Amino acid sequence: MTSALFQPIPQDPLYHLFADRRTLFEIPNFWNVVSNIPFFLAALWGLRVLRLRNSFSEPWERHAFALLVAGTAMVGAGSTYYHLDPCDSRLFWDRLPMTVVFMCLLASTIRAGRYLLLPLVLTGLSSVIYWRFSSDLRLYALVQFGCLLAVPVLLISCPSRYTGSAWIWGTLTLYVAAKLAEMFDRQISQFITMGGHPLKHLAAAGAILVYEIGISRRRPKTYR
């Protein structure tokens, strides 16, 4: 049983068969495509936040946030490209920028993030490249779910230097909602024709927007 835990995780070919595959207005998989628009809107909002002076105490934090914003825009582009014709080769371009967003969020939560930002981003990118050439999702799963687990642990065990940590909890909650919508795509389609996957996009983009709002409102804590 233990050895089974370390077996390669292949990509399920059924993953590409989403509940709603209708073509509307000559756009295939219409709702799965257009539901990526909020990622671009979140990226635009992130550009506004990036110009704020009081939200970043150190230059590397601004750099990490800029990477996250760029990654968000690329998620929108990559996911749109993938959903126009779902297949493994296109899914690669969907997942690649997602790891940038995951790792920038993680690095920004770690006190030693200035030293770990680049290694974490490279690890995230490598996990998708490894999957593409080995057909093994283990490293990518570790990056995605490891980040999802590590961030709350860090928030609890290492108090932030900034106010507004509640916004990060909101981000995590929405991302969990996004994963649930993805998992129950077909079940949701029994109630909402477009299924759960477009809702995943909306929740994931909302998670990033909530994080950006938190960044815009946070201030360094003052200790007496």
Give residue limits of the domains in the chain: 30-217
Helix (H, G, I), strand (E, B) or coil at 162: strand
CA-based nearest residue to 66, from 217, 212, 218: 212
Mean pLDDT (whole number) for 49-67: 92
Return the pLDDT at 223. 52
pTM for the whole structure: 0.92
Residue 7 has pLDDT above 90, yes or no: no
Return the pLDDT at 75. 98
Fold of 30-217: Rhopdopsin 7-helix transmembrane proteins (1.20.1070)
Both tokens of residue 18? 């989403």
Helices (H), 11-87: 30-34, 37-50, 59-84
Return the pLDDT at 2. 43
Mean pLDDT (whole number) for 93-100: 97
Both tokens of residue 151? 């961030």
Written as one letter, the residue type at 215 is: I
Residue 63 has pLDDT above 50, yes or no: yes
- The percentage of residues in the chain with a pLDDT greater than 70, rounded to a whole number, is 96
Residue 3 has pLDDT above 60, yes or no: no
CB 96 within 8 A of CB 125: yes
Residue 103 has pLDDT above 70, yes or no: yes
Helix, strand, coil percent values for the chain (each to nearest 5): 70, 0, 25
Residue 16 has pLDDT above 50, yes or no: yes
CA-based nearest residue to 103, from 89, 117, 82, 92: 117
Return the pLDDT at 19. 95
